[in-house]
Structure 1
Amino acid sequence: MVYAKKVETEKEYEDAVKIRRKVFVEEQDVPLHLELDEYDADAVHFVAYDGDTPFGAGRIREIEPGIGKVERVCILPDYRGKKLGNLMMQCMEDYSISAEITKLKLNAQSQAILFYEKRNYTITSPEFLEAGIPHRAMEKQI
């Protein structure tokens, strides 16, 4: 069974971090100290599984009352192109609604903008570099 969920145990958190390391640190060369940052302790984390195998991760931080920031969304290469990013985002958006977050912001890697636009996020900034990777800020009312 393929599913995404809010992290509730230390093992689930470790699974999410493992995915983030593989995608951002190993695949995209983001320095570890930037990937695992000071916001991890306060963020709400999410992980996606195929049975017992983790394949996706993400986190949300409430940056202002009612405004959340979606961060660190990633899917392992073997699971990409199968609409599983949508599963991850839907789980995170459902959580946000239950937490009374009414607006989500994110910094999308430029190559992922179309994915977020299909989920009704709109671009709110020119392109900028984050960890050496081109991004654009986006947001969505939920």
Structure 2
Amino acid sequence: MYKVKLVETQQEHDDAFALRRKVFVEEQGVPLHLEYDEEDATATHFIIYDGNEPVGAARLRTIEDTVGKIERVCILQELRGKHLGVLLMGEVEKYAASTQMKKLKLHAQSYAIPFYEKLGYVVTSPEFMDADIPHRAMEKNI
């Protein structure tokens, strides 16, 4: 049974960071110094557990009064395609709305654009490189 939760404990924080390391650093080759940044200290973090096993994570930052930015969205490779990303994004969006955010922005890896489009996000930029991975900016009013 999968459960998305707001990161509240040190163990949940450690689990989210270990998952991000596995997906972004080990799998995708993002340099460690780019994966973890100063924004982690003030961002709101989310994690998905399958029982006690962390399987997905994301973070949300406020970037303007009513605008948030979703970042570091990841699902373990072997569980992709099982709608965990939809579950995770739904909880992040619900939380964002509860804090009076009206718009969410994100930088999607280009291969993931169709996933975000199905969730109502719209591409707002040409392709650009981030950590040597092609991305495009996207946003959605909530």
Q: TM-score, normalised by structure 2?
A: 0.99
1:106-138: CA deviation from partner (whole Å, max 9, x where unpaired)? 000000000000000000000000010000000
What residue in structure 2 maps to residue 22 of structure 1? 22
Aligned equivalents of 2:21, 2:61: Cα separation in 1: 19
The alignment partner of 2:82 has SS state of coil
Aligned equivalents of 2:124, 2:24: Cα separation in 1: 24
What residue in structure 2 maps to residue 71 of structure 1? 71
What residue in structure 2 maps to residue 104 of structure 1? 104
Q: Which runs of 5+ in 2 are unaligned?
A: none
Q: Which runs of 5+ in 1 are unaligned?
A: none
Amino acid at match of 1:97: A
Aligned equivalents of 1:79, 1:94: Cα separation in 2: 23
Matches within 5 A, 1:1-142: 1-142=1-142
1:71-124: CA deviation from partner (whole Å, max 9, x where unpaired)? 000000111110110011011001001111110000000000000000000000
Identity of aligned residues (%): 61
Shift of 1:6: 0.8
Aligned equivalents of 2:81, 2:116: Cα separation in 1: 14
1:3-62: CA deviation from partner (whole Å, max 9, x where unpaired)? 111111111111100110000000000000100001000100000010111000000000
Aligned equivalents of 1:45, 1:39: Cα separation in 2: 11
Aligned equivalents of 1:91, 1:15: Cα separation in 2: 18
Aligned equivalents of 2:17, 2:130: Cα separation in 1: 19
Aligned equivalents of 1:88, 1:18: Cα separation in 2: 17
The alignment partner of 1:47 has SS state of strand
Aligned equivalents of 1:141, 1:39: Cα separation in 2: 23
